[in-house]
Structure 1
Amino acid sequence: MYPIQLFDTESSTFTYLLVAPDGHEAVIIDPVARHLERDLALLERLGLRLTYVLETHAHADHVTSAGALRMRTGARAAAPRGCGIEAAEVQLEDGAMLSFGAGETIHALHTPGHTAGSMSFLWRENVFTGDTLLIDGCGRTDFQGGDARTLYHSITGKLFALPDATRVWPGHDYQGRSVSSIGWERRHNKRLVGRDCAGFAELMDKLDLPKPKLIDVAVPANRALGLPQDGSGGGMNEAPNLPKRKYKSR
């Protein structure tokens, strides 16, 4: 089973739609506010009922549509406990399991380091790593409680413990790539191969990356699932009042 991979060109963010084999229910991971109508149209076109909206962490480079999707579809929002997204009704701990469709299970893996609350999601032979593990790279560790040593142990001790054939679906890619595997990343990831924890931390500490342009707006918005405080359903990339097109499901 493969996910449906969607892309936001402005932030190079991947959104994933996981569809149960029975073709009736779906889960979405890391949706982007400016693509709310695109994602709703896709659900309607495929006749899917959205059961969960999952967030891997509180993003700093885009605003989520999780709250708007929840309002429009009746799905439940789920986020890692400790990442500040208290608006999500499901607060995920390491090892939590979410069920959808006919016997489909998603396993939550707490993989902190990029942020203190970062979570990866394992479904069948696919792992959705957010900003924790990227293709030939990893997320930065210099804000939101990030820590290079913690990230090293999350990747090497938890993600790299998965079978080699596990497909890696990252939260971003900036070079036109879409998917990797645990085996490939374990053998070839340039930030990790040949480095112990201290060497990795030294490398990350020297990156000196610029501050994300949207962080001061995106992080507070994402902690509220992308909704304004009045709950009208808008977000930074959406009009304050969403169109009232009825979402249909099978």
Structure 2
Amino acid sequence: MIFQQFFEKQSSTYTYLIACEQSREAVLIDPVVSEIEKYAEVLQSQNLVLSYSLDTHVHADHVTAANSLRSKFGCKTVIHRHSGVACADIYITDRSAIRIGQILIEARYTPGHTRACTSYVTEGMVFTGDALLIDGCGRTDFQEGDAATLYDSIHQQIFTLPDETVIYPGHDYRGRFSTTVQHERLHNSRLGQGRSKAEFIDIMANLNLPYPEKIDVALPANQACGQS
């Protein structure tokens, strides 16, 4: 497997490249439109063909590169069927899978941050988008978010993975790159140490977070696959 993690500073967004060494097919998870030239440089330098662009959800803090990548590389855009996005090529559901060469990428439906959140599992790794972050999780106070739903999603779809599974989140604001299922299950400040659903709901209800700075631009653009 070929793997690379990209970081977009303005929104602290992680994008992930996964590719099959044999077939040279590649996917990008949560690509950001401003970073297309970086992705293109890596794809070209490693002789890779971009087959799919996967979004974990409809983002509110940056604009997806889905449409631009489709125009530039002819790849297919992928998102969950509950996203409300009408312009994707493939609408996934829980436990559907995308294959690139010898690599199978399984979708796990993890709503709660938004209605469409999906995590992607492959070869000892899980890409959780905003559902589960390092020592945190996505907020649940907009985009049809629901704390009880997010609690169930994380416990049923992510914490049930093997302890050593590496978690790659959609964001981090402290320079951290990854974590593990075991570490988050034990130490996550909102979900760890066996916190009950009621405790989690109370924590999420009292975060008092500001209105997302870029939601009014990013959300409508992302509902159109990144078109302004």
Per the shorter chain, which TM-score range?
over 0.9
Q: Tell me the secondary structure at the aligned position of residue 11 of structure 2.
A: coil
Taking the aligned partners of 1:189 and 1:206, their CA distance within structure 2 comes to 17
Q: Distance in 2 between matches of 1:80 and 1:199?
A: 29
Task: Note if 1:100 corresponds to 2:91.
Answer: no
1:193 aligned partner: 192
Corresponding position of 2:22: 22
Question: 1:38 maps to what in 2?
Answer: 38
Query: Residues 32 and 62 of structure 2 are in contact (CA less than 8 Å); yes or no, is this contact kept in structure 1?
Result: yes
Identify the residue that residue 6 of structure 1 maps to in structure 2: 6
Partner AA of 1:196 in structure 2: S
**1:154 to 2:145 alignment:** no
Normalising by the residue count of structure 1, what TM-score does the alignment of the two structures yield? 0.89
Q: CA deviation at 1:91?
A: 0.5
Deviations 1:60-93 (A, max 9, x none): 0000111000111011000011112221110011
Aligned residues: 227
CA offsets 1:132-165 (integer angstroms, 9 cap, x no match): 0000110000000000000000011210000001
Q: Could you tell me which residue of structure 2 aligns to residue 233 of structure 1?
A: none
Q: Name 1:123's counterpart in structure 2.
A: 122
CA deviations 1:1-49 (Å, max 9, x no partner) are 5631000010000000001131611100000011111111111111100
Aligned-pair Cα RMSD in Å: 1.0
CA distance in 2, matches of 1:110, 1:157: 10
1:51-66 map, 5 Å: 51-66=51-66
**Cα gap change, 1:141/1:86 in structure 2, threshold over 3 Å: closer, same or farther?**
same
Could you say which structure has the larger radius of gyration?
1
Is the contact between residue 23 and residue 100 of structure 2 (CA under 8 Å) also seen in structure 1?
no
Number of the residue aligned with 1:90: 90
Conservation of the 8 A alpha-carbon contact between 2:26 and 2:48: yes
CA distance in 2, matches of 1:19, 1:90: 19
What is the CA–CA distance in structure 1 between the aligned matches of 2:227 and 2:143, rounded to whole Å? 20
Deviations, residues 166-200 of structure 1 (Å, cap 9, x unaligned): 10000000000001110111111111124200110
What is the percent sequence identity of the aligned residues?
A: 47
Deviation at residue 122 of structure 1 after TM alignment: 0.4
Counterpart of 1:44 in 2: which secondary structure? helix
Determine helix, strand or coil for the equivalent of 2:37.
helix
Using the size of structure 2 for normalisation, the TM-score is 0.97
Amino acid at match of 1:205: A
User: Could you say which residue in structure 1 is the equivalent of 2:217?
Assistant: 217
The answer for the alignment partner of 1:164 in structure 2 is: 163
Please list every run of at least 4 consecutive aligned residues from structure 1 whose deviation after the TM superposition is greater than 2 angstroms.
none
**Residue type matched to 2:141 in 1?**
D
The residue aligned with 2:179 is 180
Q: Secondary structure at the match of 1:3?
A: strand
CA distance in 2, matches of 1:189, 1:108: 23
Q: CA deviation at 1:125?
A: 0.6
